[in-house]
Amino acid sequence: MTEGELFYHAIVDKFLIPLTYDDKYIIIQPTTYSDKTKFVNYMVSTIFNGKDLSLMSNSDLENLYIESIGKAYQTVLCNVLQDYA
């Protein structure tokens, strides 16, 4: 990919096109592709548990974070305990 192509995709793919999407989504790019040789963007909904992230209070966001980390922890713990049972 040439410098011009990289610049074009950086402007179009990462700035202009996301502006055309509904406000209920954000665009993320995995760090795996941070070398910029190819662009992989994921659209992620901002609606969690029926609430929009932009409308959540700080405590709501903190509880959502704790809940998601807690679920991940419980899953890993159960899998490890099953492996050694």
Give dist(CA 81, CA 73) in Å, integer: 12
Question: In terms of pLDDT, which residue wins out, 26 or 75?
Answer: 75
Give dist(CA 54, CA 47) in Å, integer: 9
pLDDT band at 78 (very low <50, low <70, confident <90, very high): very high
Q: Whole domain around residue 4: which residue ranges?
A: 1-45
Same domain, 75 and 39: no
Same domain, 64 and 30: no
pLDDT digits (tens, 9 = 90+) for 50-73: 888 878 889 988 888 888 888 889
Residue 29's CB is within 10 A of a number of other CB atoms, namely: 14
Residue 24's CB is within 10 A of a number of other CB atoms, namely: 13
Same domain, 72 and 41: no
Same domain, 41 and 71: no
Which residues, listed in sequence order, are joined to residue 43 by a DSSP beta bridge? 27
Contacts of 56 (CB under 8 A, 6+ apart): 64
Same domain, 58 and 38: no
Same domain, 38 and 62: no
- Please state the domain count of the chain: 2
